[in-house]
Amino acid sequence: MSIITVKSSLTGNSYQYVDNGDPKSGTAKDVYFSPDRKYVVAIFKEKQDFNQKERLTKIVTKYLHQIENKEAGKYYLDEIYRWPTDIIESNNKVGIIVPIYNSKFFFSKGYSSSDLIKGEEKNGKWFAAAKFRNRQFPLSLDQTELGRWLNYFQIGVNLARGVKKMHQMGLSHSDLSYNNVLIDPSTGSACMIDLDGLVVPGIFQAEVIGTADFIAPEVLATKHLDKTDPARKLPNRLTDLHALACLIYMYLLHRHPLKGGKVHDLDTEKDDLLSMGEKALFIEHPTDLSNRPKLNQVSKWDTYWADVNKIPYTITGPYLKALFDKAFIDGLHHPMQRPTAEEWEIALLKTTDLMQQCSNIYCEQKWYVFDNTSIPKCPFCGTSHKGTLPILDLYYQFQPSVWKPENHRLMVYNNQYLFQWHVDRNVIRNEKLTAEQKVPVGYFTFHEGKWVLVNQKLTSLVDKTEEKEIPIGSMVELTHGKKLLLSKEDGGRVILVTLANQ
């Protein structure tokens, strides 16, 4: 074992790595740890040409500085990306310096039956597949590693933000898949890795067409054409949006949106190409049922999640259903119609406001999206909601004395919080929120047989039904038809209470 020192010609900085003769080896790079394990040195196996070096230089200078110097830069660099920070040369080969992954992205337990993958990276594919969640599967993951269903919505939010930021900078990922995303379901965290192949339109083309399962249909359908053929479709911003939709669908429903029971060709290779490319069809298409998964053809470990009749995509709620339709019906073969990353972010966040806790302590998912029925029940275990259920619909002032529904509602459960972004239309729930804006302004609780809102910080909370102020430190009962003005400030919303399940 030896410690090698290398230098950057860009910054003049020196770096060290430990060479034990057995680096972590990927497709394109060999990865070595620094002695203090604060960063890795990833050395490309192939010689990098001028264009490739130029791309890497731009990534570690121009684009890194663009993230650092903008709002929420720290959030992106600490939480969402493992962004390369420098370039080195070692034995005539080019390498990059990348900060080490956060410890939460390594398995602390791994399999429920053995420690075989303890300490390994939490590659996203472990959590997209159904079989690793099935307790009967010999290599199922330990329950502590799987997180709750609610956490996968936050994972989706983080991925959507990561793609949104790249697209805002004029970059595209080109190979977004579960292989270059690490996730931690127990905290809802997600981190994009392998960011040295980003596409800069007009300057650096994609070097790969992507990873199977995540390649957009138009890329697969034209991959036989020459790269110079104008009809050839290469990875770009719109193909990222297909991959993002696939990832979100797979993390929430643990099945692939296009891999169903329809056979296009008896030659497996040709069939794969058609079913994911030219003939791609959403497995839950509402009118063309020909690609529904056939349960007698899927692995016995996957049948629970593969059953689209028992666990349909509609359980993800109305906002996400609309986007899955846009992604896998309207936009599947018409890339311009795919939802943007920001649309996914907004829909995922609004859906978390529709969440209910399942009262069944043995339910593996623990949470579900309110289904707008009079007697809601958990789609995973079938447990019906017990007791009354307050539903708060948000209204905004369209013009003086005219209030319109926001198409946004907040479901109440015991110790659910009310935040500034619910109260004030001018506070947008995104990565730019300040620490102060993340502090709850009130909370809901079931007190002496009644649902109440406890005012913690709202200076102008008014019960419009009773026309009386609700001072800080006091509470107001949530009764059917009650109207509450959350703030008298410009942008302040009104909530209308509906009591379901009475």
pLDDT digits (tens, 9 = 90+) for 279-314: 999 999 999 999 999 999 999 999 999 999 999 999
Report DSSP state, residue 199.
B
Flag the least confident range among 17-26, 99-108, 262-271, 426-435: 17-26
Say if residue 21's pLDDT is above 90. no
Look at residue 462 and give its three-state secondary structure. Answer: strand
Q: What is the pLDDT of residue 27?
A: 83
User: For the purposes of burial, counting CB atoms within 10 Å of the CB of 226, is it exposed (0-12), middle (13-18) or buried (19 or more)?
Assistant: exposed
Question: 201 or 168: whose pLDDT is higher?
Answer: 168
Q: What is the pLDDT of residue 101?
A: 93
Q: What is the pLDDT of residue 413?
A: 93
pLDDT digit string (tens) for 205-229? 888 899 999 999 999 999 999 988 9
- Give 25's pLDDT tier (boundaries 50, 70, 90): confident
Give the chain's mean pLDDT.
95
- CATH superfamily entry for domain 105-353: Transferase(Phosphotransferase) domain 1 (1.10.510.10)
Query: Model's pTM, two decimal places?
Result: 0.96
CB neighbour burial string for 465-501, b if at least 16 within 10 angstroms, e if fewer: eeeeebeeeebbebeeebebbbbeeeebbbbbbebbe
184: tokens are 């931690």
- Give 502's pLDDT tier (boundaries 50, 70, 90): confident
Say if residue 454's pLDDT is above 80. yes
In terms of CATH architecture, what is 387-500?
A: Sandwich (2.60)
- Give 501's pLDDT tier (boundaries 50, 70, 90): confident
Say if residue 105's pLDDT is above 90. yes
Closest listed residue to residue 9, CA positions, set 103, 88, 85, 105: 88
Q: What is the pLDDT of residue 308?
A: 97
Average pLDDT over residues 10-37: 91
Q: What is the pLDDT of residue 483?
A: 97
Please give the Cα distance from 333 to 172 (Å, whole number).
Answer: 19
Average pLDDT over residues 163-174: 96
- The CATH topology of domain 2-100 is Phosphorylase Kinase; domain 1 (3.30.200)
User: What are the sequence ranges of the domains in the chain?
Assistant: 2-100, 105-353, 387-500
Average pLDDT over residues 330-350: 98
Say if residue 9's pLDDT is above 90. no
Average pLDDT over residues 133-158: 96
- Give 393's pLDDT tier (boundaries 50, 70, 90): very high
Determine what percent of the chain is predicted with pLDDT higher than 70.
100
Q: What is the pLDDT of residue 90?
A: 86
- Give 401's pLDDT tier (boundaries 50, 70, 90): confident
Average pLDDT over residues 125-140: 95
Q: What is the pLDDT of residue 200?
A: 87
Average pLDDT over residues 57-70: 95
Look at residue 126 and give its three-state secondary structure. Answer: helix
CB neighbour burial string for 253-289, b if at least 16 within 10 angstroms, e if fewer: bbbbbbbbbbebeeeeeeebbbbbbebbbbbbbeeee
Length of the chain: 502
Q: What is the pLDDT of residue 81?
A: 97
Q: What is the pLDDT of residue 246?
A: 98
Look at residue 147 and give its three-state secondary structure. Answer: coil
Q: Residue 165 to residues 23, 72, 82, 162, 176: CA-CA distances in angstroms?
A: 32, 10, 14, 5, 14
Average pLDDT over residues 68-89: 95
